[in-house]
Amino acid sequence: MHRVIGALGVVALVLVGGAAGAQGPLPCDFVTGGGYIINNNAKANFGVGGSCKAGGDGHGLWGHLEYVDHGGASSGGSSVVPFKVHWATITGYFFCSDVSCTSFDPVQSQPSGTRLICGTATTNLPSPDNAVNWVVKATDNDPSGNDLFMIVVTSQGSTFTYSTGDDPLAGGNIEIHKPNNSTGFFGGAPTSDNCPAFVPSVNSCMGDVDCPLSGSCNTNTGMCCPPGTVFKFGVCALPD
C-alpha cells in the first residue's frame, strides 16, 4: 500500500520565524540533491533544488523537482505506474531549525541541516489531480549520517494527497551549498499561500467542537488540524 492519504492528511505546522536576539537576516544558501528512496518496497527517484533567489522564466524562485515513484499512485479510481511529478514553479524556500521543521529560526547555515522547498507541479494522474502543490523536506546530514528526503503532493482540485516518510536515501546525495551574492536572505516561515502542501488552509477554531472534519483544534495557532491529523505535542500530526 502506498502512503497516499486523503484530504490534506499531512502534518501542518504554522510557526513563525525570527530568533530572539538574531543579528540581522541570515544569507540564504541553496540546496541540490538527487538519488532515490525506497517507498513501500518500490524505488522512487528524485532530483531537486531550491533557493531564495529569483528563478526567472515565470518559475518564481530558483529550483526544480523531478520525482518518479516506480510503485505508482492512485486517485479517484485511477492508477498510474510509475507516478511522475514535474515541477512548474518554486514558491518557497525555508530554513528549518530542526529535522522535523517545527521552527524556522535561521541560526546556522552550514555545513548541514534541513531545508523546505515548496512549489507547484504537473503529474501524470488524470484531471483534476494532474495539477498539484508539493513540498520537499531535504536534509543534508554530512558528514555524520544518511541524508533524508520527504515529499508531500496535494491536488489543487480535489482531496488527493500523496506523501512519503522522512526516508534515508538508498542512493544519491543532498548538498547544502554556501550562500553567494545572488541568493539573498532567509525570511519568514511557510504559509498556506507560499506552501499549501505543508500549511493547508483550514478553518479557525477555539476547540475541537469547531473542527467537524478532523475533530482536532490546534490551540497554539487557533486553526483546525487537517482531516486525518490530530493535535498532539504542540502540532497537528498523523495519528499513531
Q: Are strands 30-39 and 171-177 parallel, antiparallel or unpaired?
A: antiparallel
Q: Is residue 42 scored above 90 in pLDDT?
A: yes
Model confidence at 209: pLDDT above 60: yes
- Range in 4-18, 29-43, 94-108, 163-177 with the lowest mean pLDDT: 4-18
Q: How far apart are CA 74 and CA 10, in angstroms?
A: 17
pLDDT above 90 as % of the chain = 52
Count the neighbouring beta carbons within 10 Å of the beta carbon of residue 64.
Answer: 16
Q: How confident is the model at residue 103 (pLDDT cuts 50, 70, 90)?
A: confident
For 225-240, how does the pLDDT look when each residue is reduced to its tens digit (9 = 90+)?
A: 887 888 988 888 888 8
Mean pLDDT calculated for residue range 146-161:
91
Give the closest residue to 216 by CA, choosing from 234, 197, 198, 189: 234
**Domain locations along the chain:** 26-177, 208-237
119-148 CB burial, b ≥16 within 10 A, e <16: bbbebbbeeebebbbbbbbbbbbeeeeebb
Rounded to 10 degrees, the C-alpha dihedral 117/46/165/226 comes to 50
Q: What is the mean pLDDT of residues 82-106?
A: 93
Q: What is residue 168's predicted lDDT score, i.e. its pLDDT?
A: 96
- 8 falls in which pLDDT band (50, 70, 90)? very low
> What is the SS3 assignment for 209?
helix
